[in-house]
Amino acid sequence: MKLPIFIADAFTAKAFRGNPAAVCLLENELDEDLHQKIAREMNLSETAFIRRLHSTDNFTQKNVNSTLTFVTLSGELKARKAENGIILDLPLYPTQPQDLREVEKLIKTAIGDTRVQDIRYSPDTRKLLVRLSDTYDRSFLENLKVSTQNLPQIESSGKVKGLILTLKGQPGGQTKVFDFYSRYFAPWVGVAEDPVTGSAHTVLSSYWSQQLGKKEMYAFQCSPRGGELEISLRSDGRVDIRGGAAIVVEGTLTA
């Protein structure tokens, strides 16, 4: 069996940056075991298997502003091609204040004595958002050593499935001004640190829009690979997240 496969770097215009993901095009369904074997072979945090649900579905849709709908295990994902990237149409998830006493050990284990300014929780996504002190700058977040190995043992109730560290943007000193920075960790699902995370920004967009009083924002995820996201909150309670994409591998998988 031969399957078309690609590796694309998302949320970047440059190869070897952003979030790498494998994309495998299918004509027919595969059994779950083969899905898992291919994903392990790709050894990336995301491997997507795309199959036409209707004969008229077009894998090679090239029209700008045309929308493709993907039916996933997490629900529908809509994406459209724009002149300067790809726009994901995503839900916007609110956060609620989180009592420090309930998560203090988790935070202490992850970032030690790093000063924390705010803690929020997203019940819809089970993500814990930790805002670092405004006295820190981008380089501090980029260089921060985060310990994630023991977090699943410390928080094993199922309440938390992802840890977001975020920091308010600071103008000056960078080639581009960003409204906020972040890093994302999900050892509960086997991801020590995700390079760039669209789902985390469904929470971050809600939080920082309230904090900054803005509907249009630029964000940077400070993983070693790094990724840029352009955020636009919509009046219908959803968010458009725009990013570039670079295809770095195109070939055939033999299984």
- Tally of helices (H runs) and strands (E runs) in the chain: 5, 16
Query: In the 3-class helix/strand/coil scheme, how is 184-234 assigned residue by residue?
Result: EEEHHHCEEEECCCHHHHHHHHHHHHHHHCCCEEEEEECCCCCEEEEEEEC
Instruction: Record the tokens describing residue 5, joined without a space.
Output: 């496969």
Coil, strand or helix at 42: helix
Residue 129 · residue 167 · CB < 8 Å: no
Note the pLDDT of residue 62. 55
Measure the CA–CA gap between 25 and 71, rounded to whole angstroms.
14
User: How does residue 69 score in pLDDT terms, banded at 50, 70 and 90?
Assistant: confident
CATH T-level topology, domain 2-81+244-254 = Diaminopimelate Epimerase; Chain A, domain 1 (3.10.310)
pLDDT at 59 over 70: no
Q: Which is nearest to 130 in space by CA: 195, 180, 194, 198?
A: 180
Instruction: Report residue 68's pLDDT band, with 50, 70 and 90 as the boundaries.
Output: confident
196 touches 10 (CB < 8 A): yes
CATH code at 96-238: 3.10.310.10
Tokens 């059994």 belong to: 31
Residue 61 has pLDDT above 80, yes or no: no
- Using the structure block, give the residue that is written with the tokens 């199922």: 158
φ and ψ of 127, to 5 deg: -105, 135
Q: How is the chain split into domains, by residue range?
A: 2-81+244-254, 96-238
Mean pLDDT of 149-163: 96
Indicate if 83 belongs to the active site: no
Q: Which of 27, 46, 76, 104 is catalytic?
A: 46
Q: Tell me the backbone φ, ψ of residue 209, rounded to 5 degrees.
A: -65, -40
105-132 confidence digits (pLDDT tens): 999 999 999 999 999 999 999 999 999 9
Tell me which H or E stretch contains 165. strand 162-168
CB 219 within 8 A of CB 201: yes
pTM: 0.89
Has residue 16 got a pLDDT over 60? yes
Same topology between domain 2-81+244-254 and domain 96-238 = yes
